[in-house]
Structure 1
Amino acid sequence: MLMHRTVGEMLHQTAKEFPETEAYVYPEKGIRKTYREFDQETDELAKAFIGLGIKKGEHVAIWSDNKREWLLSQFATGKMGAVLVTVNTNYQEAELKYLLEQSDASTLILGEEFKGTSYIEIIQSLCPELFTGTKGALDCEGLPRLKRIIVMSDKEYPGIYTWQEFEAFAQTTTNDQLKDKMKALHPDDVINIQYTSGTTGFPKGVMLSHDNIVNNGQIIGDFMNLTSKDRLCIPVPFFHCFGCVLGNMAAVTHGSTMVIIEQFEPKKVLQAVQDEKCTALHGVPTMFISELNHPDYAIYDTSTLRTGIMAGSPCPIEVMKKVIHDMGAGEITICYGQTEASPVITQTKWNDAIEKRVSTVGKPHPHVEVKIINPVTQEEVLSGTPGELCARGYLIMKGYYKNEEATREAIDSDGWLHTGDIAVLDSEGYIEITGRIKDMIIRGGENIYPREVEEFLYQHPAIQDVQVVGVPDAKYGEELMAWVILKDAEVLTPEELRNACRGKISHHKIPKYIEFVSSYPMTASGKIQKYILREMSIKKAEVEAK
């Protein structure tokens, strides 16, 4: 049965059923809160959002690693109806400006910094009016819709609310006012916008409803056999569906404990699993590889592990086997999906045969229709025949924010989401993903579309043309290779080009391999043959790796 509850109603119900069960733990900070306390905290923060003047449907962007304030904001906005817009922690100035503009965000919640990048300096550069502006009534020429900025700190910055100042706004809102706001919400309301890159270049805002993410989280947890006795270690980022849906929402719908790692480090994860006696662990394959290959791996006790999810990019069979046999997560599952599907479409179950759990992405979730079609004829194909995977059901996004054309391209008139991925259905109903129609590159669980990187590199004054493709990589699954044509008389080295990218575009989008050429393989009609470039790239990467 689908739940048809808002995020707030779901958390209230969980807190009522499991009031003294630990809701979340931050091992590094020594913070522990029960579901009763978590429910109360998020009620108070929801009142603060209301007191600050934020209305139902207003867009609140959030930019930080997995801090407690992020977790509380996810559920507090879910209670009072603001739409949480998630921001990639790796974003630099140009990417943040685009997201804030495109999303019409009125409010930005941010951490002070991330891995040496000062978020404060970036927002001050984008909005210099902060230095003379009034908190809560910003007038930023470059970002005219942005009115409020809140920092996850009690350190004072011009024009920015401290976290304590923000929390104080709760005093201006009554409990009855919050209840009225919650009653006015509907499970079909959009509550989350997550940005995902597109083949046409810039990221698109995927609009997800309460129904989308609450039910997807519920079913994900069911497939893991989660209960209130489970303790789920979450080292994957909250800004991604992996963190906020497969992690937070799956745990909260089942009364499980979230053991949260702010920033992934293999040793921190192993320590948390041991000390907190975690029964479940999430991660992209590269995270599990880093944990298994850590020099101190053997000294940690991971015997309490039972389940978890490996997803985000193709999961190597040998890594799955090691997680099952060496780490002890004998019931670990694999998920497949995309942000546009809230995100999980198919998943292996905790009790599926190991062969299926290491070689397929499982079966479609309940209440989800799946078909595999010939991408040319659009006709459904027989089992055993590769084709494009399409999905339909409660989980499909409401659309891309302010992009009806892209929405129509992704979802057909019958409600089918066309994933662009090539899949094969076996005789038992299990699905194997064998490739992608689109050019998307998945590096360490991060989706990268070549066009976005190409558009950035085009801005370099020495570059005439550039094509970006993915090449296989043992550590990250895929790496980027850029094929660059320079303007006449221009000279540029690969390292100079990489240096020009640093601090201006996310590090995971900077090409590992760069090759300078005078032309590209072309069709007779003048189209670049990217598949030939990809074949050439693989050979070049293999030579460089030797």
Structure 2
Amino acid sequence: MPTTPPSARSYSSGTSGVPLLGDTIGENLDRAVHAFPDRDALVECATGRRWSYTEFAADVDAVALGLLALGVAKGDRVGIWAPNRAEWTLAQYATARLGAILVTVNPAYRSHELEYVLNQAGIRVLVAADRFRTSDYAGMIAEVRPRCPALEQVVLLDGPDWEGLLAAGRAGDPAALAERQAELSPDDPINIQYTSGTTGFPKGATLTHHNILNNGYFVGELCGYTEHDRICIPVPFYHCFGMVMGNLAATSHGACMVIPAPAFDPRATLEAVASESCTSLYGVPTMFIAELADPEFDRHDLSSLRTGIMAGAPCPVEVMKDVMGRMGMTEVSICYGMTETSPVSTQTRADDSVERRVSTVGRVGPHLEVKVVDPATGRTVPRGEPGELCTRGYSVMLGYWGEPAKTAEAVDPAGWMHTGDLAVMDGDGYLSITGRLKDMVIRGGENLYPREIEEFLHTHPDVLDVQVIGVPDEKYGEELMAWVRMRSGAEPLTAESVRVYCAGRLAHFKIPRYVHVVEEFPMTVTGKIRKVEMREQAAGILAGPEVPPGR
């Protein structure tokens, strides 16, 4: 059998003359404070609060010493459950100073998901907003707390809890914090981020200082960041996009983090860019589409913008042209990755063509490797042929928290993370994502796994069986559709009745938009559900002249 020459294989490694960082996050922040003491570190537009690097470090230390006073030890899990706000960022760097493991909890979670994460991670201290919009965080915490034995302390941000923590920290001994930080290693776990899993429950990707600090740093390097950059971060902090590609990319370069609003708001984002002279703007394509469509778009002075990052979903070519032309982001970068890889594995460069930016996810990042393999044999395929994308290097997680078997399924003995995504590598090493091995649905940048939603809907007393698929959607890229078999005698479910059942128990973006009631599912001769056929049928159902059954 002929073999593929090495140069023609779908393999690429990211060479770099810039070495990996060997710091902990706290040490790296100290370097930025020493180099840029008076430069802006953090701006919160909603409140007008701002911190220089010196002021930011002082408040980070106060939070860290406050947590130390609560008895937080190295390796303890500290949860953070809040929308984007300055206190979120302070907690991020404070836990890093202590060597506590920050568990980022999605602000859209409801009691069902919160309880699972609190127990699975063994969270000892939970820092949380009291409420935001329709989310009563304090109420949900009170509801689940009796069933969460590890949870010892809850620190609510909007009242005496947080102020008490800061006061205790400011009265603490800085030498105790310095002593703790000196005990830390860059290879210590520092962050658990939950990513939906096919097991029916989220899995906690466990990441180190070395993982996320270097990933943020090199993403920033490819964006050309310096201390003169000001990065507008409307993407959520609970995800790597916000806290790594945003916050850590900024502080590792002495740049400024700008929080435009607690949650994404296109007008507030545009106002933040203009008022703070931001040089970089982040978002998923739907965010940029919303900003460009704002009726007052043209009155905002965006002339300071130079670059930014778009990730989470493919970018339509016209949107990319508008982002570069109307928004002035001529150096905008496309990134691809996953939580388990800290997150970025590939990225376009500033001099890449528009075509490259809309048709590929760029080339491998510095100090990383990527390859495309035949899922059946594991052999690297020739360039131009599809296969499963794998990545290896400093960015790969330690594993899924408390789930060694699931870790072994994702990371092979040679250290390759199997992404589950189908990709093609061209002759220049650029990668295009062509599909998914599994049935993951990407809705507006959120990665959703049908099995988790199916498991929850199975708790409905009238549901005999349920299958969830992704269907095309103009606004979000994909939406969820549930195919449901009802128990005998039960009234058919509708999209509205499913929404009511899920409200307060499942994050809003996980609630199916469409519900289709069936007698049977399409099956193979061996009894396996044919989701491919379901998706094909769904296209006809949703395009039909009549309202889909159960919609």
TM-score, structure 1 normalization = 0.95
Q: Determine the structure 1 residue equivalent to 2:16.
A: none
The 1:493–1:75 alpha-carbon spacing in structure 2 relative to 1, beyond 3 Å, is: same
Distance across 1 between alignment mates of 2:171 and 2:49: 27
Q: CA deviation at 1:358?
A: 2.2
Distance across 2 between alignment mates of 1:334 and 1:27: 26
CA contact (8 A) 2:77 2:121 kept: yes
3-state SS, counterpart of residue 519 of structure 1: coil
Q: Please tell me whether residue 285 in structure 1 is matched to residue 285 in structure 2.
A: yes
Q: Determine the structure 1 residue equivalent to 2:156.
A: 151
Q: CA deviation at 1:172?
A: 5.5
User: Which residue identity does 1:92 align to in structure 2?
Assistant: R
Q: Determine the structure 2 residue equivalent to 1:91.
A: 109
1:104-158 residue CA offsets vs partner (Å, 9 max, x unmatched): 000100001122111111111123xxxxxxxxxxxx4x11111000000125xxx
Q: CA deviation at 1:317?
A: 2.3
3-state SS, counterpart of residue 2 of structure 1: coil
Paired residues for 1:398-437 under 5 Å: 398-437=398-437
User: Unaligned regions of 5+ residues in structure 2, if any?
Assistant: 1-18
Q: Determine the structure 2 residue equivalent to 1:131.
A: none
Q: CA deviation at 1:171?
A: 4.7
Q: Please tell me whether residue 536 in structure 1 is matched to residue 541 in structure 2.
A: no
Distance across 1 between alignment mates of 2:94 and 2:490: 53
CA contact (8 A) 2:284 2:312 kept: yes
1:46 to 60, 64, 74: 64
CA contact (8 A) 1:195 1:203 kept: yes
Q: CA deviation at 1:544?
A: 6.9
Distance across 2 between alignment mates of 1:307 and 1:391: 26
3-state SS, counterpart of residue 38 of structure 1: helix
RMSD: 1.3
Q: CA deviation at 1:519?
A: 0.3
The 1:214–1:520 alpha-carbon spacing in structure 2 relative to 1, beyond 3 Å, is: same
Equivalences, count: 527
Q: CA deviation at 1:540?
A: 2.1
User: Which residue identity does 2:230 align to in structure 1?
Assistant: R
3-state SS, counterpart of residue 120 of structure 1: helix
CA contact (8 A) 1:469 1:537 kept: no
CA contact (8 A) 1:485 1:517 kept: yes
Q: Determine the structure 2 residue equivalent to 1:130.
A: none
Q: Determine the structure 2 residue equivalent to 1:185.
A: 184
The 1:356–1:496 alpha-carbon spacing in structure 2 relative to 1, beyond 3 Å, is: same
3-state SS, counterpart of residue 484 of structure 1: strand
User: Unaligned regions of 5+ residues in structure 1, if any?
Assistant: 128-139, 156-161
3-state SS, counterpart of residue 9 of structure 1: helix
Distance across 2 between alignment mates of 1:195 and 1:296: 37
1:357-393 residue CA offsets vs partner (Å, 9 max, x unmatched): 2221110011101110011111100111111000011
Q: Determine the structure 1 residue equivalent to 2:164.
A: 165
Q: Determine the structure 2 residue equivalent to 1:2.
A: 20
Distance across 2 between alignment mates of 1:245 and 1:438: 26
CA contact (8 A) 2:314 2:358 kept: no
Paired residues for 1:374-523 under 5 Å: 374-494=374-494, 495-523=496-524
Q: Please tell me whether residue 57 in structure 1 is matched to residue 91 in structure 2.
A: no
3-state SS, counterpart of residue 62 of structure 1: strand
Distance across 1 between alignment mates of 2:338 and 2:540: 30
CA contact (8 A) 1:64 1:110 kept: yes
User: Which residue identity does 1:73 align to in structure 2?
Assistant: A
User: Which residue identity does 2:430 align to in structure 1?
Assistant: Y
1:439-464 residue CA offsets vs partner (Å, 9 max, x unmatched): 11111111110011111111111110
CA contact (8 A) 1:51 1:172 kept: no
2:85 to 39, 57, 67: 67
Q: Determine the structure 2 residue equivalent to 1:198.
A: 197
1:40-65 residue CA offsets vs partner (Å, 9 max, x unmatched): 21122111111111000000011000
Distance across 2 between alignment mates of 1:440 and 1:41: 40
Higher relative contact order (CA 8 A, sep 6+): 2
3-state SS, counterpart of residue 142 of structure 2: helix
Distance across 1 between alignment mates of 2:303 and 2:25: 33
Q: CA deviation at 1:407?
A: 0.1
3-state SS, counterpart of residue 168 of structure 1: helix
Q: CA deviation at 1:39?
A: 1.4
Q: Determine the structure 1 residue equivalent to 2:226.
A: 227
Q: Determine the structure 1 residue equivalent to 2:338.
A: 338
